[in-house]
Amino acid sequence: MNIHLRLDPLRLAFLAAACLFGATAPALAAGPPLRVLLFSGQNNHDWKTTTPKLRAILTGSGRFTVDVTEHPEQTTAETLARYDVIVSDWNAWGDAPVKEWPPATRTAFLDFIRGGKGYVSIHAGSSSFYDWPEYQQIGGLFWNLGPTSHGPPHEFPVEFVGDHPITRGLASFRTTDELWLKPGMHPAAQLVATGDGQPLAVTTALGRGRGFALLLGHSAEYMNTPGFQSLLLRGTEWAATGEVTLRGAGDARGLDADTVIRRVAAYRFGNDREALLALEQLVQAAAADAATRSALAAKLASALAAEASTDGKRALLDGLSLLGSAAEVPALARALTDAELLYHACQALARIPAPEAEAALITALRTTTGSARATVLQALASRRATSAVPAIARLVTDADPDVAAAALDALGTLGSPEATAALQTAENQIAPALRERWAAALLRCAGSLRAEGKTHEAATLFAALARPGRPASVREAAFPAYVGLAADAAVPDVLAALAGPDPILRRAALRALWSNRQPVLLKAAVDGLGVLSPEQQEAVLLLCGERGDASLLPAVTRAAASPQPEVRRAAVKTLGLIGNASAVDTLARLGDTGSDEDQKAVVEALARLRGSGVDAAIRNALEAAPPAGQRTLIRAVAAREDRTAAPNLLAVSRSPDPAVRTEALRTLGRLADTSACAPLVQRLSQATPDDRERLEGALVEIGRRDPAVVPLLAQALTGAPPVTAASLVGVLGALGGSPAFAAVRQQLPSDQPEVRLAAVRVLADWPDAEPLDDLAAVVETAGDARTRAIAARGLSRLAPQAPARAARAAEALAGALATTTDATERTHLLSAVVGIPCLASLKAVQAELSNPALTIATAAGLLGIGEVIYPWHPAEVKAALADLRRTGPLSPELAKRADALTARLSQPANFALGGLASSPDGIEKDGDAHGDQAAIDGNPDTYWDEQDHQPLYRLRVQLRQRSTLGCLRILGFSHQNYAPKDFEIRCDDRVVKTVTDAAYTNNWLTVAFPPVTCSVVELVITGAHGPSPAIRELEFYAEPPPKP
């Protein structure tokens, strides 16, 4: 509950506005409105915003008139006699100034109710007078000091209880508001609605009177929903009359026209627009049928004439704009005189086709001034009111520039011969500031003439508008239009303009080229390309491309040699679009020179060339071209995906130019098939290291596309020279897969050291743990240190992927360590072995402790292993720790870790650590949670959680190592909230314990079960405290640990 009052100046401003708006009551055709007295002026809530809102909702419905009193304590029997129902937004909570009502008020209040009237309280509106039993009885719901509480406003479901006229037919809904938990409820009150299970709305009775209490409405912002408004309106109506006729908000369909119109007439900005929507729906429903259309239009027109709010009238006008006809024009014409309605009235008159509407607007031209007049002009233009030309023409010289401009625009829009003539006649009277506007209007007239086929008149007018002295914007548009109509005859004009001194015409001529499709025009421009500015040349060339006219090819080809980069590039682009095989040579030559950007343009152009023979021409050009050109051509081959070019590419891949070789081999990789493999393999032995890399890259690319390559390369390994074999092993490694693995493995015993090394290298990088045993064997047997080091690195990389075989890897490394003396190699081996935490690695590292050259890394490695494996090997870890301490004083950091480990060893071990958590229930993670692993990461700040309200959740932990367990412990999310409640514990998929209604203590739950040895533990959760079971920590023990 909100105990302080906020006074926000904006809200006060609104209050003032709302009071003004509230001055007129809606005119009710059927049944008088119900009269509401709204109690306000004191409340521990923000009554200054809630009261206007309540009032707006009530009056907006059209069913109520509302008066507000800010001094309910001054109410008398006489005042109350004028009302049907009291709505209370008032209370005497806390240290409010008014704590009591005088006895006379109390009596008047009770008599009012008992006599058969109504009382409604909103939110805390009845939280007063706790020692006044009748008040409590009629109030029904109140804040009960002590038991009642609330959290922050949030969303919750509202459900209805039983069958009551107020809620009948309403659908339950969700809303956001402050929700009172355990509110005080009078024993005689009848519950009609709950919020998340808490009492939310009740009806009450006192004498012959009725009460309705609604706890929603903590502040004005929560009163905007249909749910709140339906309950307020229907509850108030019921309290006043004992009946409900109002429909729920959000359900306007089916209301009769009169009711809708009445409500629209009462509508004010800020109210719910339900009535407006209802009107829109009525209008649309009526639109389909002529008879209903005119009947409704007539009703709207008469409502417009009657008393209604401005906002309501605007809505009525909008309705008329869709339905209206000549009959409604007089009503609309009257609306034109109201500045606040002008916009909507103009819209209606512009939309109604009847000539009467046009006449009304023309009349309005005389009666309006300024911007209203301009708005009318716009409406005339919008309805293409050609009959208005004389009236409009008079206004082009109006003293008000907005009016004159709107008149010019309107004539331009109308574009009729009369409008054109009127504009021409007015030429010399136009204000200088409006000359551009005038010319633009005339330009549009010329456009209309053209559209009507009056070619000659249009051309003459366009030509006149293109002359110097006219505004540049109009000349630039008029010239191309003129050219379009004058056709071929305008060619000399265009050429003169293009190269001429008048910059406006130069630009206009360019527009003329783009907007007119006569081939002769473009041809002429292309022929005269040399005299044009680079920018113009660029434009003309691009236009050639767009037109796709191959006859322009020679000129475009010439332009491709231009020294101007933009021109060159435009020519190249165009060549690509209109060229054919014959353009290959030109382009290839261009590819020789020029910047990277030029070359890119050339490649793109080559890629786009159409027609037969292009690919062949490119292939032919390829071998003879100089290196730069070759590179360009190769890229073009790649872009065109010309697979037949493989032999040509193979040929140029021997080019003395390394860049060409690179390009050719890369493209071979992308295009060639297995047939290219043999020649590529053959070249491996002689190639420079760089080239070998390129060859290998190509082979890998081909192999990625075609599985036939691996067997081919495997075969090629036999008898291959060592360099080749080593290369092939690398390629096979990059390709991967079992056949490649088998082939590489076979090379392990090779008597060529470089081949062996290559094989070990490949296996050490293998993506899965398959080569683990092979690498272990290499570590144990290989004669040279480098090979062993690589294999050792591979082992430590692969071991975590195969926990079951990790010990084998660690043993091999341990063995090697024992026999190796070389310091560097020992370092490699040690760092590999500490990466595989298991008993064997512990032992191996422990043995190192006696080495006088002991390093901090080794000591840290030992601790690292111990930290992981101590749950399963406590004794061994303890012994190793003791050995470690014997080596002398540890660095502070290591000492801290050693102490922590010692401490952990003295406590029961959590076997969940180091495991792998997953959640195979297919439920999406909760947005804020940290994933499955968070449940067993030893960090209580992170947690596992999934989406709410699912029937079944699963959390599965693959233990690091088979373990014997007898107990499980859960750290829940928050107290008992969001914690697993009903679940099964399964070990290796066997149920070992079923937990129901789990009770957590200080957030912890400990569950013991008969000891079982297993590798996987799973929780199958069917119930949670709260919407979902979140787990911060899940721990497994051999026996129950002491309380945390």
Partner 1 sequence: MTRPTLRPSLTMNSLSRRRFLRQTTLGSATALSLPTLLPASVFGANAPSQRVAVGHIGVGGQGRGLMDGFLGLPQNQSVAVCDPIQERREAAAQRVEQHYAAAKGQDVYRGCRAYADFRELLARDDLDAVVIASPDHWHVPLALAAVRAGKDVYVEKPLGLSIEQGLALRAAVHLHGAVFQYGTQQRSFNSHCGFACELVRNGYLGELKAVHVVAPNGSTGGRAVPQPVPAGLDYDLWLGPAPVTPYTEDRVFGTGRWFIYDYAIGFIAGWGAHPLDVAHWGYPHIPVEYRGTGRIPTEGLFDTVVDWDVQGRYASGVEFTLKTGTDKTTFVGTDGWVAASRGGISAAPESLLERKLKPDDVRLLRDNHHYRDFLNGVRTRQTPVSDIDSAAQSDFMSHLGDIAVRTGRTIRWDPATETILGDTAAARMTRRAGRAPWAA
3-state secondary structure of 165: coil
- Contact code string over 522-561 relative to partner 1, x by CB under 8 A: ------------xx--xx--xx--x---------------
Other C-beta atoms within 10 Å of 782: how many? 22
Q: Is 176 in the site for partner 1 (CB under 8 A)?
A: no
Token match 């990789």: residue? Answer: 669
Give least dist CB 491 to partner 1, A.
Answer: 11
Q: Is 497 in the site for partner 1 (CB under 8 A)?
A: yes
What is d(CA 955, CA 1035) in angstroms, rounded to the nearest whole number? 12
Give least dist CB 592 to partner 1, A.
Answer: 22
H helical segments located in 799-855: 806-819, 823-834, 839-848
3-state secondary structure of 483: helix
Token match 């507000």: residue? Answer: 68
What is d(CA 553, CA 571) in angstroms, rounded to the nearest whole number? 10
One of 240, 521, 526, 609 touching partner 1 (CB under 8 A): 609
Q: What are phi and psi of 352, to 5 degrees?
A: -80, 120
Q: Is 898 in the site for partner 1 (CB under 8 A)?
A: no
- Contact code string over 13-52 relative to partner 1, x by CB under 8 A: xx--x-----------------------------------
Give least dist CB 287 to partner 1, A.
Answer: 4
Give least dist CB 493 to partner 1, A.
Answer: 6
Looking at the DSSP bridge assignments, the partners of residue 1021 are: 953, 983
The H or E element containing residue 87 is strand 85-88
Give least dist CB 980 to partner 1, A.
Answer: 34
| Candidate ranges 155-163, 321-329, 858-866, 946-954; the one touching partner 1 (CB under 8 A) | 321-329
Give least dist CB 926 to partner 1, A.
Answer: 21
What per-residue string of b and e applies to 29-56 under the rule 16 or more CB within 10 Å gives b?
Answer: eeeebbebbbbbbbbbbbbbbbbbbbbb
Shorter beta-carbon distance to partner 1: residue 544 or 865: 544
Shorter beta-carbon distance to partner 1: residue 13 or 882: 13
Site for partner 1 in 288-317 (CB under 8 A): 288, 314
Q: Is 823 in the site for partner 1 (CB under 8 A)?
A: no
In one-letter notation, the amino acid at residue 866 is G
Rounded (5°) CA angle 202-207-208: 85
Looking at the DSSP bridge assignments, the partners of residue 212 are: 120, 203
Site for partner 1 in 222-241 (CB under 8 A): 224-226
Site for partner 1 in 327-356 (CB under 8 A): 340, 343-344, 346-347, 350-353
Shorter beta-carbon distance to partner 1: residue 209 or 576: 576
Alpha carbon distances (Å) from 527 to 522, 523, 537, 571: 8, 6, 11, 14
Q: What are phi and psi of 615, to 5 degrees?
A: -60, -45
Question: What contacts 134, CB < 8 A, 6 or more positions away?
Answer: 110, 206
* Inter-residue contact 929 to 945 (CB < 8 Å): yes
Site for partner 1 in 46-105 (CB under 8 A): none
Give least dist CB 308 to partner 1, A.
Answer: 17
One of 32, 468, 689, 951 touching partner 1 (CB under 8 A): 468
Q: Is 505 in the site for partner 1 (CB under 8 A)?
A: yes
Number of residues binding to partner 1, judged by CB under 8 A: 111
- Contact code string over 1009-1038 relative to partner 1, x by CB under 8 A: ------------------------------
What is d(CA 207, CA 35) in angstroms, rounded to the nearest whole number? 20
| Candidate ranges 117-125, 439-447, 834-842, 948-956; the one touching partner 1 (CB under 8 A) | 439-447
Task: Please choose, from the candidates 1016, 999, 1009, the residue with its C-alpha nearest in 3D space to the C-alpha of residue 1038.
Answer: 1009
One of 432, 503, 656, 783 touching partner 1 (CB under 8 A): 503
For the chain, the straight-line distance linking the first and the last C-alpha, in angstroms and rounded, comes to: 37
What is d(CA 798, CA 803) in angstroms, rounded to the nearest whole number? 9
Task: Please choose, from the candidates 869, 868, 902, 870, the residue with its C-alpha nearest in 3D space to the C-alpha of residue 884.
Answer: 902
Give least dist CB 543 to partner 1, A.
Answer: 7
Give least dist CB 328 to partner 1, A.
Answer: 13
Q: Is 386 in the site for partner 1 (CB under 8 A)?
A: no
| Candidate ranges 24-32, 480-488, 703-711, 853-861; the one touching partner 1 (CB under 8 A) | 480-488
Shorter beta-carbon distance to partner 1: residue 558 or 670: 670
Shorter beta-carbon distance to partner 1: residue 198 or 292: 292
One of 456, 886, 949, 1043 touching partner 1 (CB under 8 A): 456
Q: Is 540 exposed, middle or buried (0-12, 13-18, 19+ CB in 10 A)?
A: buried
3-state secondary structure of 500: coil
Give least dist CB 1022 to partner 1, A.
Answer: 33
Site for partner 1 in 918-957 (CB under 8 A): none
One of 24, 194, 363, 371 touching partner 1 (CB under 8 A): 371
What is d(CA 712, CA 1005) in angstroms, rounded to the nearest whole number? 62
Site for partner 1 in 397-416 (CB under 8 A): 402, 405-406
Give least dist CB 697 to partner 1, A.
Answer: 21
Q: Is 276 in the site for partner 1 (CB under 8 A)?
A: yes
* Inter-residue contact 494 to 525 (CB < 8 Å): yes
Shorter beta-carbon distance to partner 1: residue 634 or 987: 634
Shorter beta-carbon distance to partner 1: residue 538 or 811: 538
| Candidate ranges 607-615, 800-808, 846-854, 885-893; the one touching partner 1 (CB under 8 A) | 607-615
- β 190-195/154-160 pair status: antiparallel
Give the total residue count for the chain: 1044
